[in-house]
Structure 1
């Protein structure tokens, strides 16, 4: 299946009126996606047919996705021609899910944060999961901005579960989280907190502030010292662990 070219249209079973043709097209893409992230044809068929969401299954889907689909921003840069190398123009990320699925599933590429998370959201919803899109902050030379998209999965326990395969250094496992409480990544030790979205901060547009009533913030266990970002924001050497988000 993964060798086929992408269908002209991608039908989402939770967003479109069902017809046999749409169901068949959607199932084809689901199977191709699952095989793209390392499941065997038999495992892919079982996942697509059962559609029985569980915490364990979500953890396996997230792990496979992280191992198979890299964060990459190659499309955001122009690649000049050189000796024996053709010129490649910029190809900016898009919020059109069918184009993102074509890139990740059928072209076997990685993607930028919202490309990966949009695609993973599509897959999870197609498998019966209840998924919400959330706003998250990232650090820049000028300070934090709401420049990231994360995912919350509902219905698997008393609290939503954070999954974020589109983050460059993502949690390796789903992280239960709730408003105002600090949640810790059990593997990396990073701390997360969901806070009310203050519309006066981060130069948000009215559309963004109106859509997201909360924002996810993150505190790195080891800081950013020693990384390329450390130089951009004035850090030198190894930074001490930051306090949990407040």
Structure 2
């Protein structure tokens, strides 16, 4: 696998304020390496939540990365895959990583079917003679980047991951708690995509009744030793192997928990006047 085969036609992302981005995720600028990529991804998951709150508070999400940068970096909000992985791609590219975005399809646990093309955005990074899957926009997904190597079991703190190939040459990302049984999570290929190609599905996930993002409010972030997740009905905290769960009874309680656990106030949710 030669680097030139993957990146000879891949333009670099536009310049962004790297210092402000790194300050947001409590990281320093370093030379690209696999170790640094892993640190960046985990720090991003800890400091920037996965959330769909704009969809429920009347703010339209537009794939303009200057606006998303303002939202996530300066206003200290989170976002969903198109926002977070889109921004993370910009950061990695500006730091000198060889990377590009790909399309993936999420498997629906209820129907057992995969979603539409461009259902999910993820990133491929070529480093240390291997291709790696990076993803900061799935919610409770991978914590470490995963090597794109079919059949290799990779440990990620409390989960095991494996990439397999289907008869149509698609790659299937599978997850297991104990390696006894794996469940499919994503279907993807290594084909490079352009950011503009995700606009239609970004609109779909904000408006369609069938989209999981229109069904309920959701915000979640990684903790150093667990995860905190908030919906309009539940607050769930996993930390050091302990699990706690409490009901959310009304909007005021939701907003209180949102500010306490995620540092997001009601003012940050109100659409700005244009």
What is the TM-score normalised by the length of structure 2?
0.54
Alignment of 1:10-49 (within 5 A): 14-15=12-13, 26=15, 29-39=17-27, 43=28, 47=29
Contact kept, 8 Å, 1:137 with 1:216, in 2: the verdict is no
Instruction: Return the match for 1:221 from 163, 176, 185.
Output: 176
| Distance across 2 between alignment mates of 1:94 and 1:183 | 37
When structure 1 is superposed on structure 2, of 131-140 and 118-127 the one drifting more is 131-140
Q: Secondary structure at the match of 1:160?
A: strand
User: Per-residue displacement from partner, 1:37-74 (whole Å, max 9, x unpaired)?
Assistant: 113xxx3xxx1xx6x21111111111211110010011
| Distance across 1 between alignment mates of 2:40 and 2:25 | 8
Instruction: Kindly indicate whether residue 159 of structure 2 is the aligned counterpart of residue 189 of structure 1.
Output: yes
What residue is the counterpart of 2:47 in the other structure? 68
Contact kept, 8 Å, 2:166 with 2:172, in 1: the verdict is no
Instruction: Kindly indicate whether residue 95 of structure 2 is the aligned counterpart of residue 127 of structure 1.
Output: yes
Alignment of 1:1-246 (within 5 A): 14-15=12-13, 26=15, 29-39=17-27, 43=28, 47=29, 52-77=31-56, 88-89=57-58, 91-140=59-108, 141-142=110-111, 143-145=113-115, 146=117, 147-154=119-126, 156-178=127-149, 180-193=150-163, 195=165, 215-222=170-177, 241-242=181-182
Unpaired segments ≥5 residues, structure 2: 1-10, 188-274
* Count, aligned residues: 171
Contact kept, 8 Å, 1:162 with 1:177, in 2: the verdict is yes
Report the Cα offset of residue 194 of structure 1.
6.2
Report the Cα offset of residue 216 of structure 1.
4.5
Report the Cα offset of residue 117 of structure 1.
0.3
Q: Which has the higher strand share?
A: 2
The alpha-carbon distance between structure 1 residues 165 and 215, as it changes in their structure 2 partners (threshold 3 A), is farther
| Distance across 2 between alignment mates of 1:190 and 1:92 | 36
What is the TM-score normalised by the length of structure 1?
0.60
Report the Cα offset of residue 196 of structure 1.
7.3
The alpha-carbon distance between structure 1 residues 38 and 216, as it changes in their structure 2 partners (threshold 3 A), is farther
Report the Cα offset of residue 219 of structure 1.
2.0
Higher relative contact order (CA 8 A, sep 6+): 2
Unpaired segments ≥5 residues, structure 1: 1-12, 17-25, 78-87, 199-213, 224-239
Larger Rg: 1
Q: CA RMSD in A?
A: 3.0
When structure 1 is superposed on structure 2, of 95-104 and 138-147 the one drifting more is 138-147
